[in-house]
Structure 1
Amino acid sequence: MAVDDTHAIRRLKHEYCFAIDAGNYEEWAALFTENGRFVRDDGSTFEGADELYEFASERFDAAFDRVAHLVTNPVIDVDGDDATGQWYLFLLFQDDDGNVGWRQAKYNDQYRKVDGAWRIVESEVTYGVRTDD
């Protein structure tokens, strides 16, 4: 496993967090491959830049007024131009009514190097404290 690839994937996930938290949804969607997918634990799937942008700008904005994604404990495995990653998510939020709270989740991600840059093929999120796959 190349250290540079692992570092680049960590940075990619951090850019993902900063972009969605700041409401930069076009930038967030651009971190995925052309047909990249975001999969929620309720089975809803958003594929491609248009659907990813729509999810973030409509559903995500409807749920939260302010938010901070904190990702930890990455386990990244690189195999050539493909990679997988597991992360824990601690999500801090404030809703439109001023209520604050947090949620815990786990990301299972797939990555691919495209034109020399790592991109997200799929990011699957499962909410709740879980240690199983």
Structure 2
Amino acid sequence: MTLDETVADLAHRVAVLEAEAEIRRIQARYMFLCDTPCPEFGVLDDNRRIDTIMELYTADAVWEGVGEYYDGQFGRAEGSDAIRAHFQRFWGAERDPRLVLNAHYLTSEQIHVAGDRATGQWIHVQPWVFSDGTSLLRSSRLNNAFRRVGGTWRITRTRTENVFVAPLTPGWAIDHPSTSVLMKP
């Protein structure tokens, strides 16, 4: 291999590693923004949370729940307006019981970069606690897609498939915050 070929190969490999790192940060930030209470500094209400989440997506993105359990529960939202409406229904003031605790734990990561497009697969687990005291543990497989737009990676598809949903014993979480102070100065 010539010096020019070696430099080109190394530059390509570094670009892939940088893309993987940015995609990993985008996916983790998305999950962080979906946590309840929202720990993102400056995100004081659900409208701002949704605006911040939408900044991670392309205008033509798709958010979908797939498989025998999630098809009917989450459905498919195509484009920014539909995805925004999905999140508004999820965190809307009319939701009863309200979600008071939700934390996302990501594992089993695989990221595949091909130029300005990429896919990523994860498994996540999340406990949910509602205002009426009910709780559940949910796990999903994620098969997401990403595209570099103007030099920045964005989500083009969030696809989630149920692995399991398990009820939790009432009162299993004996202490959790009503607001997050994690990101306060």
Which band: TM-score by shorter chain? Answer: 0.7 to 0.9
The answer to whether 1:101 aligns with 2:115 is: no
Q: Take 2:103 and 2:50, find their aligned partners in 1: how far apart are those partners?
A: 15
1:67 is aligned to 102
CA distance in 2, matches of 1:46, 1:60: 16
Q: Which residue number corresponds to residue 11 of structure 1?
A: 25
Deviation at 1:48, TM superposition (A): 2.1
Aligned to 2:82: 51
Give the letter for the 1:71 counterpart. Answer: L
Question: In 2, distance between residues paired with 1:92 and 1:29?
Answer: 23
Match of 2:111? 76
Match of 1:32 among 57, 61, 67: 57
Distance 2:78 2:126 in 1: 23
Q: Conserved in 2, the CA contact under 8 Å of 1:30 and 1:49?
A: no
Superposed CA offset, 1:49-88 (max 9, x none): 2221211121355373321121111100000000011000
Alignment correspondent of 2:9: none
SS state at 1:128 partner = strand
What is the aligned-residue identity percentage? 27
Could you state the TM-score of these two structures normalised by the residue count of structure 1?
Answer: 0.88
Unaligned runs of 5+ in 1: none
Report if the CA contact (8 A) 1:36-1:121 is conserved: yes
SS at match of 1:126: strand
- For normalisation by structure 2, the TM-score amounts to 0.64
Q: Larger % of strand: which?
A: 1
Q: Distance in 1 between matches of 2:79 and 2:131?
A: 28
* Larger of the two Rg values belongs to structure: 2
Size of the alignment, in residue pairs? 129
